[in-house]
Amino acid sequence: MTQQTLQQRFAPRLQQRQADDLYRRRPLAFSAQQPAMQLNGRQVVNFSSNDYLGLANHPEIKRTLAENLDALSVGSGAAHLVTGHHLHHHLLEDEIADWLGVERALLFSTGYMANLAVLETLMQKGDLILTDKLNHASLIDGALHSDAQLKRYPHNDMAALAKRLNAAKSQVLIATDGVFSMDGDLAPLDKIQPLAQQTQSWLFVDDAHGLGVLGEQGKGSFSHFGLTPDDDTILMGTLGKAFGVSGAFVAGSDTLIETLIQFARPYIYTTAMSPLMALAGRTALKLVKAADDRREQLQRNIQQFKQGCQQIGLNLLPSDTAIQPILLGEAATALQWSEQLKQAGFWVTAIRPPTVPKNTARLRVTLSATHTAEQIEALLQALQSCQN
């Protein structure tokens, strides 16, 4: 067998990705995460952040960290099951569970890790995972890492989901985003949960983009639909979006959490998050629960942007959340618009394949409660210029 150097194998693929306008580059932030910030040395208004409530630079979270720097170590030092499980981890888990009305919660360093842990741990050979076609990559990867069979149903197609459920001959887990990260629409949990219960299937909801923003006290997509998770529901949430800090959690029954603690390799074999970040998460949770004014302001900002886009004839995907995608089609067009907006002082990311399907490249505008009406109006004027 002929061996290849790394250069020989991957240089052509990198060159092709550049030629197809699909090459990814990391912008460099020079300031705190907030609407007005410096990216790549340019002063811009940021419309690409998932900091939906504007808590990432909140003075109360920063003050909490400053006041506890002497009392807490920066690093946890070990995995949760060794010596890394600090009191603040434990309290944050309890407070999240109480907030969501479930028995327990379990912290993870990232949502990606949490999704891998759930799917590869719970699903066994002979089981079936049914996932929405537009689910986040971490749900797909978690399913592929399990020993179960994976089938994808058309986006939010309840007839197709019901058909697959009725045909199943083994244990089924339905996996779906609560709010879809690239389209901004919601999974119809009011229809999915009854299907799961009727067929005795398990339901796994990644509510990374719903928690903090939707429902009473920001409890997310289940609360938005007036639903309560049952004992066969698994809920994943992240702390790095509406909460403004970092980390993630899985919430559900005591049996679920103990199963993950005992058997989930992504939990067992990794260092726990910083105790300082767990403390920051506790402060963020208090702010999220009391943030009705911010959620109301966010809704006003969403409506202002949607109405403005309608007036200038932009092709928005149907979304009522903070994620407002402008569908442009070709990757080159999305890059061109994104660059023109940067020149005008606005940071709006172009989303291209393979993150989204071919010919559905878009600008993904994300709104925050801390964007001003003037900033949104200025963005709309810049978008109108892109059409000319």
Share above pLDDT 90 across residues of the chain, in percent, rounded to a whole number: 97
Q: What is the pLDDT of residue 22?
A: 87
Q: Whole-angstrom Cα distance, residue 288 to residue 293? A: 10
CATH number of 59-289: 3.40.640.10
pLDDT digits (tens, 9 = 90+) for 144-164: 999 999 999 999 999 999 999
Nearest to 210 by CA among 159, 257, 176: 176
DSSP conformation class of 376: H
CATH of 27-53+292-386, one of 3.90.1150.10, 3.60.10.10, 3.40.950.10, 3.30.930.10: 3.90.1150.10
Q: What is the pLDDT of residue 387?
A: 86
**Catalytic hit among 109, 146, 181, 319:** 181
Name the pTM for this structure.
Answer: 0.94
Average pLDDT over residues 122-141: 96
272 close to 125: Cβ distance less than 8 angstroms: no
209 has catalytic annotation? yes
Gyration radius (Cα) of the chain, Å:
21
45 close to 375: Cβ distance less than 8 angstroms: yes
Instruction: Give the confidence band of 1 by pLDDT, cuts at 50, 70, 90.
Output: confident
Amino acid in position 54: G
181 has catalytic annotation? yes
pLDDT digits (tens, 9 = 90+) for 238-259: 999 999 999 999 999 999 999 9
pLDDT digits (tens, 9 = 90+) for 58-105: 999 999 999 999 999 999 999 999 999 999 999 999 999 999 999 999
Instruction: Give the confidence band of 2 by pLDDT, cuts at 50, 70, 90.
Output: confident
Give me the numbers of helices (H) and strands (E) for the chain, helices first please: 14, 13
Q: Taking 90 as the threshold, does the pLDDT of residue 132 lie above it?
A: yes
Phi, psi of 371 (to 5 degrees): -70, 140
Q: Taking 80 as the threshold, does the pLDDT of residue 388 lie above it?
A: no
**Catalytic hit among 58, 86, 224, 241:** 241
Domain-wise residue ranges, the chain: 27-53+292-386, 59-289
Q: Taking 90 as the threshold, does the pLDDT of residue 121 lie above it?
A: yes
**Catalytic hit among 86, 88, 89, 209:** 209
pLDDT digits (tens, 9 = 90+) for 291-324: 999 999 999 999 999 999 999 999 999 999 999 9
224 has catalytic annotation? no
